[in-house]
Structure 1
Amino acid sequence: MTQMKRRMILGLALATTAVLAACGGGDDGIDDRIGLSKPSVRVIHAVTGGPNVDVLQNGALTPIQNVPYKTVSGYNNVETGNQLFALNRAGTSTQLGQTTVDARTGHKYTIVAVPGLTAPELVQIDDPYGKGLLDTSARVRVFNASVNAQNIDVYLTQQATDINTVQPNMGSVAYKSAVPASTQDSQYVDGGTYRLRITTAGTKTVIFDSGALTINKNDDWLITTIPVDGIGAVVPNRIKVLVAQSSTSNATAQELVTTQAAQ
């Protein structure tokens, strides 16, 4: 980026400060929208029945300590380059998993502790955050952490929409994968009332139905499917959903259970 172009972008950003301040907060800052923010990392504990955990960065204990299931840490700035993150059982040196983040300017990273077949596993999502300066849309991404539902289609529609008449918003989401994929920007939707339905991939067989959901303008949702039964879940398609929203401080993810009678 040339110096002149950088000055023009920064000038436009300053001119829209009041608009952005009115539209949203948290980590949706001007520096995020123009791609100049420091890389930042958050951690989500999505292991049902899993132990409380401590988060380490490059071998050093971070302030994210003794956090339970459903915790969504705030985004924390890190230096560019490789950053090694590990999760330990709280108060011990017993490591549950680790992953290396290749941290880049303008990117946000989410590390998700997911329930595997025998133990927790760590998966990371790289979000390049391509939202426009004046865009008030909500951002949405789906992550499949359900070892017992390894390929799913996701429909995020108006409440009355017949899914037999539409294609999935996010199709063929494989286990431990995200759609849009890691390194791609999230999907954008208008604020309003929606209904989240999840089917086995390639079918219209609903295995999860949220009922009415409100997604506000400028929301930033990571929708994570997880097994109801946690680590080692074997009952096919018995899932629930965690919704993690962008936050500047530790928060609890919203847990959704299906309205389907079969569940």
Structure 2
Amino acid sequence: MGPRIWRWARPTIVVALALVVIGIPLWLVLATSAKPRGEAINPNLDPPDHWQPGSNYADALDQGEMMRGFANSLLVIVPSVVLVLILGAAAAWVFARRRGKLVATAYAVCISGLLLPPAIITIVLQLRQLDLAGTRPGMIAVYTAMYLSTSIFFMTGFIRAIPYELEEAARMDGAKPLRIFLRIVLPLLRPVIATATIMVMLYAWSDIFYSFFVLGGGDAATLPINLYQVASAELYQENWHLIFAYVVVMSLPMIAIFLVAQRRIVSGITSGAVK
């Protein structure tokens, strides 16, 4: 009877913990974002007496200049994802197919970013010397360097499981290395590429720490930085209904992407790490 009870109690405990850890904060955000200003001054878990999510979200979009922040986020994240995928796949192909102490050392250095946190002060000083501080190219370079280690790690493990005979057959047919990489290696990397794309987008979309030091504010501010600016401005002081409405709208694109592609994330991680 004991194991049977535990088998039924275990999922119940997991669901209850999820409701407490995730459900309560989520309800606080959603409920506050739908309240009038008077009810939202002191955020709590009480449902709104008067629901007005439409006007709150419209004000957050207009007053918070969300469309500009959305465009700035895309202008930074999309190039970062492209660079992470291209550079990561090319480096992983070399690490997976070549042997030697030099290659092993280079691989260890490249994936060391998984364990070593970036030194933000050093990064900012280097960007200033290169005149890239406060610019989108500087932010793209930081994101690319931060997430390249993860991409190389998963892609290298995946490529090692690809039969080398496929590349040998292409070489015998006269294919050059670039053509082999584009026609054979990249198509087979689709599961890991999908995973890397989603992971980088999820991390970079909500990043405020590095973007705050690299971009600062101004016209190039991404969505998280823009939220910080409007939340600190006089317009949004104690306007918790607008702040939480901004958070909800900002989170919707990444939530949708995660729900649609969660299976690809798991399959890509397991294939790249286990293989």
Q: Which structure has the larger Rg over C-alpha atoms? A: 2
State the TM-score, normalized to the length of structure 1: 0.22
State the TM-score, normalized to the length of structure 2: 0.22
| Higher RCO (C-alpha under 8 Å, 6+ residues apart) | 2
Q: Which has the higher strand share?
A: 1
Q: Which has the higher helix share?
A: 2
